[in-house]
Structure formats: structure tokens, C-alpha cells
Amino acid sequence: MTDKTRNRFDLKGKLAIVTGASRGLGRAMAVALAEHGADLVLVARSEKGLDQTADAVTELGREAVVCPFNLANAESVPDLMDAIEKEAGLPGILVNNAGTTRRAPATELELADWDAVMRVNVRGLFALSRELARRLMARERRGKIVNIASLMSRVARPGTTAYAASKGAVAMLTRSLAVEWAAHGINVNAIGPGYFKTELTRPVYEDEAFSRWVRQNTPMGRWGEPDDLAGAVVFLASPASDFVTGQILYVDGGWLSLV
């Protein structure tokens, strides 16, 4: 196959880590990568959920390695990477999807809750990205890192102070790492989902007044479904995005076009 006719979205021979892969957006993105040929390392706190995602990956004929791990324990990330390399090899793709939130008015938000959000959404993401980048650089290998930012990397609403701050940090961390690691052939980009139906958003999705507000303020008139991220993650993980770095691709049904 010539360079002009090859499939630039082909991920055959690639190994990808997806964090937060036990359900929702993480599961959908892991399956999308497998559909395009990648083998998967699935990371999350829940082994039960990871097994279900692994089944979906193996049904597509791809390999899946399950690694239960809590990214709040950032100091143990080197041990996680050692275990991954021993089991599956060195991944060339990392999708930093794991995240958490705590909802409260800023005046009532406990510092422990603030720390819990930052520990996973920012500190854990940085620790895993840094560890993979160190190993890729040591072997002079290229790589793709895809962070999951948020609509709230750009906008905010009451009661989401810690989450919005963490996702703003993810956006700037994406740009900073992209600049530092570009010379090493490591692309760092982010996806900014809008309002999606997930377990994390269930409390607000099931609030009919809020759900109606979301639909009314989204030009496409609906909440996002996990599968709506498939194209974005495959693009940013594949050779199709080789000259794209430091970018945040918002998948929001047109929300930000109205802001």
C-alpha cells in the first residue's frame, strides 16, 4: 500500500492505555481504538467494569490487558508502568480519561474534596503522562497522548469549582507538554466533551429541568452519547494527526459556538 492510499486511521500494531476504562466514555474510546486495530491496556479502579470492557475489546479480535489502579496514588505510577511493560510492552498511545468530581458551592466545598479532584484529574494525569514520556524518550520512540479535558476547560457554572479548575489545568497542561515534547515526537492533545450521558453526570442528567436546559442550549439539541467521542479519539491517536499537537478538540454539539 502506498503512502497516498494507506489508511491514516489504522492503529494495527499499536498498544494504547485508556484510563477510566471501566465504563462510560473510557469504555467507548477503548472500543473505538480496538475497532481500528489497537490492542488495549485498560486501567481503572473497578476490576469488574474493566473485565466487561476487556470482553468488548477481545470480541473485536484485539488483545486487552486489565490493570486495576487508582490514579490518586500517583507515586505508584512507575510500578504500574513496569507491570504494563512486563505484560504487554511499552504503549505508544495514552488516553487520560480517568476523572472525578465533587459538587458543592465554593463556600461550602471542603478542601479534602478539592484535593480529591485535583489528585486524580490533574496530578494522576501528569504522573502517568510523564512516566510514559520518559520511557518513550529513552527508547527514541514516538507517541500520542490524548487528555480528556471538558467543556468546563472554557466555561463554568455554579457548584463545579473544583472540577472546572481541574479541567482548566488539563487544558494548559496539554499545551505545555505539547510544547516540551514535540521535539521528541510525542503529540499531546485533548478532547473537550460537552454534556454527555455518563455515570458521572447522572445526578444532573436525571434532573429534568437541567437536562432540558442542556438540550435547549446545545445547537444539536441533545446530550452527547459515549460513542460520539469515537472519531475524535481515533483521529488524535492515529497517524492522521501527526502534525497536530497542543490542541483541544471540543465535542460539544455546538455548545461553545453560542458562547
Which strands sit side by side in the sheet containing 39-44, from one edge to the other? 64-68, 39-44, 15-19, 93-96, 143-148, 186-193, 248-251
Cα pseudo-dihedral 32, 34, 39, 40, rounded to 10: 40
Residue spans of beta strands (DSSP E) within the chain: 15-19, 39-44, 64-68, 93-96, 143-148, 186-193, 248-251
CA-to-CA distance for 256 and 176, rounded, in angstroms? 23
* Residues 89 and 15: beta-carbon distance below 8 Å: yes
Hey, is 165 helix, strand or coil? Answer: helix
Grid cell listed for 118: 485535583
Return the active site residues: 163
Which helix (H) or strand (E) covers residue 127, if one does? helix 125-138
**Inter-residue contact 49 to 60 (CB < 8 Å):** no
72-84 as b/e: b if 16+ CB within 10 A: bebeebeebbeeb
